[in-house]
Structure 1
Amino acid sequence: MLSTFEWTIAKRYLLPARSEAFIFLVAGISLVAVMLGVAALIIVMSVMNGFRAELLDRIVGLNGHALIQGYGGRLDNWEDLLKQARETEGVVSASPLIEQPLLGSYEGRVEAVLVRGNDADDIAGLNDKLVAGSVANIKPGNETIAIGSRLAQNLGARLGDRMTIINPQGRSTPFGTVPREISYQIGAIFEIGVYDFDKAFVIMPIKDAQTLLLTGDQIGMIEITTEDADSVGEILAPLAPKVGNRGIIADWRTINANLFEALAVERVAMFVVLSIIILVAVFNILSSLIMLVRSKTRDIAILRTMGASRRSLLKVFIFIGTVIGILGAIAGLGLGFIFLFFRQSVVNFVQFVTGQNLWDPSVRFLTELPSKTDPVEVTVIVVMAIVFSFLATLYPAMKAASTDPVQVLRYD
């Protein structure tokens, strides 16, 4: 803590006279640099955390935390395995699943689609993702399906239209294999928020999928949701011996390994790169304090002759530099949160001004810029800025404290 004398001197140096306006300008630039560095780190880390969380939530929301995939696309004795999966500790739900890439056609337009056969509970889970229609009529035998919003847009199909699903592996005839084509009514249009899903997925009851694919009572995989996505490997470890050589267990990290590993590497790289902004700001603090010490050398010498201790001068200059860092960190914290709150409006404004599409869902996977602020990360960023600012004050503060009044005032 500063004494009254030390506080008076520090306040005088924080608000210099007009003749020292340049030093004040450099100190102000240092504060702004710290603010921008802290804000940039908070914004980027929050966006990347949000991107990972949103991506995981939406991918897991449709695919579960793990899949038991049968070899050759067929899972033998799946009823017994499904029961064992549901009885595994830590498993919230397990359901049969069929997934097969096929072709979808509507009024001459053809798109590659990914047909998914789900049970009634999984289909009911689409309710909070619907943009049109209802899943109430998507029942076995009704020939009604739900499709992604981007797929509907690409095909030009609307709610209530009939879409044809084409299975190239149809029935054999004397004239060769005839593709199997079945017409389904579009009963619901959903939007997961992941572009690749919304442009390809066609969801129908599992019985209808088995009829379309001519698989009988067979399924291709079992979808599993656990209590904790990050602990899915440990939770499903007891189930691996029961699966045996019938298939493999692939969790969300394995299925999307390249994507999430790239996000992790990019996250670390961005943190390191953006931390350099704070380091630059710290060097500005260092230079402004050195300039202040040099301009106040005579004043410091007089204070020393009047009884000011080296410790007091050391505390004064450390306080000045640290206050600049603290004010910059607080301002950066506020700026970062304001930007995150209006992030989508900022993106839309920049797109409007530049005429460029900065957030193309086909490239970014998600339809909107996400954000998730981690209090621990924010605390680390703010503390890092303050600590760096404190370290930058040590050299000029020690230089001021070591001033020899005899040498300075010898010729005065």
Structure 2
Amino acid sequence: MILNRYEKMIARRYLLPGKGEGFIFLVAAISLAAVALGVAALIIVMSVMNGFRAELFDKIVGLNGHAIVNGYEGRLSEWQRIAASARATPGVVSALPLIEQPLMASANGRVEGVLVRGMRPSDLQNNPIISSHVKSGQLVDIAPGSNKIAIGSGLAQSLGAYVGSEISLISPEGRDTPVGSVPRIVTYTVGAVFEVGVYDYDKQYIIMPMEDAQSLLLMGNQIGMIEVQVDNPDKVSETLAPLAPIVRGHGILIDWRQMNSALFSALEVERIAMFVVLSLIVLVAVFNILSSLIMLVRAKTRDIAILRTMGASRRAMMKIFVTVGTTIGALGIMLGVILGALFLFFRQPIVDSIQYLTGQDLWDPSVRVLSSLPSKSDPVEIGAIIVTALLLSFLATLYPAWKAASTDPVQVLRYE
């Protein structure tokens, strides 16, 4: 909307408080602040929700792959042929053998349920989710025959273990005796402690070399599953479709959507619901702009009539008041973007400060899954929020601007 010189001057004059117009200016300032808070809330919540999904996806998929070939009864025979076929499938990045088995762990008189994972040492060291989050010890020490394991930080805290501590793993796959089956108990030394940032993994995971896991679980040369990574996670089903006939009869092929469908579906529903609910804040702020402009038109009725008698057109009046209202909305949007960016940048210190002041644990990892507040801003999404808020602000100006343009100078100035 292009304004000429006098229209710009009048619009600028109406944006600033005149004599006796402090209340109107206060209402306009409240409208601006409401728009800013609404936009900031939308940006903050959507960025945090996107961060949740991205962090969970990266860490869950980083540990479990985009798909797994799970053997029947936890045993996968002929896994070398299946892994080779998977690696030869177009779009597949890697196919790694794994063993996963829930067991019991004991140390310092404490017992915890754990998830033992057997990996090849090279695969363990090349896994960025684990190798880049080692808190103490070294992954190179986790070698076949070393009798050393890596454990999550939450499990280390629960068992009171640290690098150099001994942990006994209890497996129900033991030897048979005249009085029944005796559980197999093997003691290992903690060689490394890691913290990937997902509470359940840090609380349960024990990682050991593949050969040691096979020996502990009496699996011989068998494994439990094959972890498959693809180049496009969104098309994992189409990519792995040729692998399904090869797997049939040996195990089940499950992709990341099936493994975590409930979690990611819940996050998507919550994300949409939060967007709709918080958009109402922007809508309420827009009504504030509407009310402040109506008050401004009523206060400036005489000025409008004089401008009309001096030759100002209806279109000029429309442009002036539309500009005033849209400017209030635009300034609020700019302030909201700045507030949102500042909050997201200092999000963790803000959460920590609130926890300190209230004495409440607002971010319990056992409930929130992740150990810190994540954030991932989507420029397209932020752009959509800005455009939507600006469009609503523009629409809110149309009725007051039309009322200003419809002012009859003869009726207003008749008794002046």
TM-score category of the 2 structures, normalised to the smaller one? over 0.9
1:72-109 CA-to-partner distances (Å, cap 9, x unmatched) read 21223211001001111111111111111000011221
1:411 is the counterpart of 2:415: yes
Identity of paired residues, percent?
63
C-alpha separation in 2, matches of 1:121 and 1:235: 26
User: Which residue of structure 2 lines up, in the alignment, with residue 81 of structure 1?
Assistant: 82
User: Which residue of structure 2 lines up, in the alignment, with residue 174 of structure 1?
Assistant: 178
Q: How far 1:249 moved relative to its partner?
A: 1.5
C-alpha separation in 2, matches of 1:82 and 1:379: 44
1:106-147 CA-to-partner distances (Å, cap 9, x unmatched) read 122110000111112221123212101111121122211111
C-alpha separation in 1, matches of 2:234 and 2:30: 43
C-alpha separation in 2, matches of 1:385 and 1:347: 28
Q: How far 1:228 moved relative to its partner?
A: 2.3
User: Which residue of structure 2 lines up, in the alignment, with residue 45 of structure 1?
Assistant: 46
> SS of 1:52's equivalent?
helix
> SS of 2:334's equivalent?
helix
> SS of 1:204's equivalent?
strand
C-alpha separation in 1, matches of 2:286 and 2:108: 64
- The AA in structure 2 aligned to 1:268 is I
C-alpha separation in 2, matches of 1:280 and 1:313: 25
- The AA in structure 2 aligned to 1:27 is A
User: Which residue of structure 2 lines up, in the alignment, with residue 302 of structure 1?
Assistant: 306
C-alpha separation in 1, matches of 2:113 and 2:162: 18
User: Which residue of structure 1 lines up, in the alignment, with residue 292 of structure 2?
Assistant: 288
> SS of 2:377's equivalent?
coil
> SS of 1:199's equivalent?
helix
User: Which residue of structure 1 lines up, in the alignment, with residue 134 of structure 2?
Assistant: 130
- The AA in structure 2 aligned to 1:121 is S
- The AA in structure 1 aligned to 2:324 is I
User: Which residue of structure 2 lines up, in the alignment, with residue 121 of structure 1?
Assistant: 122
User: Which residue of structure 1 lines up, in the alignment, with residue 396 of structure 2?
Assistant: 392
- Among 343, 346, 363, the residue aligned to 2:350: 346
1:17 is the counterpart of 2:21: no
- The AA in structure 2 aligned to 1:138 is I
> SS of 1:168's equivalent?
strand
Q: How far 1:71 moved relative to its partner?
A: 2.0
Q: Which has the larger displacement, 204-213 or 315-324?
A: 204-213
1:226-260 CA-to-partner distances (Å, cap 9, x unmatched) read 11222222221221122123222111221111111
- The AA in structure 2 aligned to 1:302 is I
User: Which residue of structure 1 lines up, in the alignment, with residue 94 of structure 2?
Assistant: 93
Aligned length in residues = 412
Q: How far 1:217 moved relative to its partner?
A: 1.4
- The AA in structure 1 aligned to 2:24 is I
User: Which residue of structure 2 lines up, in the alignment, with residue 265 of structure 1?
Assistant: 269
C-alpha separation in 2, matches of 1:114 and 1:374: 35
> SS of 1:171's equivalent?
strand
For 1:49-68, list aligned pairs within 5 A: 49-68=50-69
User: Which residue of structure 1 lines up, in the alignment, with residue 214 of structure 2?
Assistant: 210
User: Which residue of structure 1 lines up, in the alignment, with residue 5 of structure 2?
Assistant: 4
C-alpha separation in 1, matches of 2:251 and 2:294: 68
> SS of 2:139's equivalent?
coil
Gaps (5+ residues) in structure 2?
A: none
- The AA in structure 1 aligned to 2:400 is P
C-alpha separation in 2, matches of 1:127 and 1:89: 28
User: Which residue of structure 2 lines up, in the alignment, with residue 370 of structure 1?
Assistant: 374
Q: How far 1:163 moved relative to its partner?
A: 0.7
User: Which residue of structure 2 lines up, in the alignment, with residue 200 of structure 1?
Assistant: 204
Q: Which has the larger displacement, 213-222 or 303-312?
A: 213-222
- When the two structures are superposed, what TM-score results if normalisation uses the length of structure 2? 0.97
1:254 is the counterpart of 2:255: no
Gaps (5+ residues) in structure 1?
A: none
- The AA in structure 1 aligned to 2:302 is R
- Among 186, 189, 208, the residue aligned to 1:185: 189
1:316 is the counterpart of 2:320: yes
- The AA in structure 1 aligned to 2:232 is D
C-alpha separation in 2, matches of 1:45 and 1:269: 11
C-alpha separation in 2, matches of 1:101 and 1:19: 75
- The AA in structure 1 aligned to 2:56 is L
User: Which residue of structure 2 lines up, in the alignment, with residue 152 of structure 1?
Assistant: 156
> SS of 1:318's equivalent?
helix
> SS of 2:37's equivalent?
helix
C-alpha separation in 2, matches of 1:228 and 1:191: 27
> SS of 2:242's equivalent?
helix
Q: How far 1:205 moved relative to its partner?
A: 1.0
- When the two structures are superposed, what TM-score results if normalisation uses the length of structure 1? 0.98
1:156-204 CA-to-partner distances (Å, cap 9, x unmatched) read 0110111100002311100111000001111111111100000110111
C-alpha separation in 1, matches of 2:17 and 2:197: 55
> SS of 1:369's equivalent?
coil
- The AA in structure 2 aligned to 1:149 is S
Q: Which has the larger displacement, 313-322 or 129-138?
A: 129-138
- The AA in structure 2 aligned to 1:103 is M
- The AA in structure 2 aligned to 1:357 is D
Q: Which has the larger displacement, 269-278 or 213-222?
A: 213-222
Q: How far 1:410 moved relative to its partner?
A: 2.0
- The AA in structure 1 aligned to 2:361 is N
> SS of 2:228's equivalent?
strand
Q: How far 1:295 moved relative to its partner?
A: 1.1
Q: How far 1:411 moved relative to its partner?
A: 2.1
C-alpha separation in 1, matches of 2:117 and 2:60: 14
Q: How far 1:26 moved relative to its partner?
A: 0.4
C-alpha separation in 2, matches of 1:96 and 1:363: 31
1:328 is the counterpart of 2:332: yes
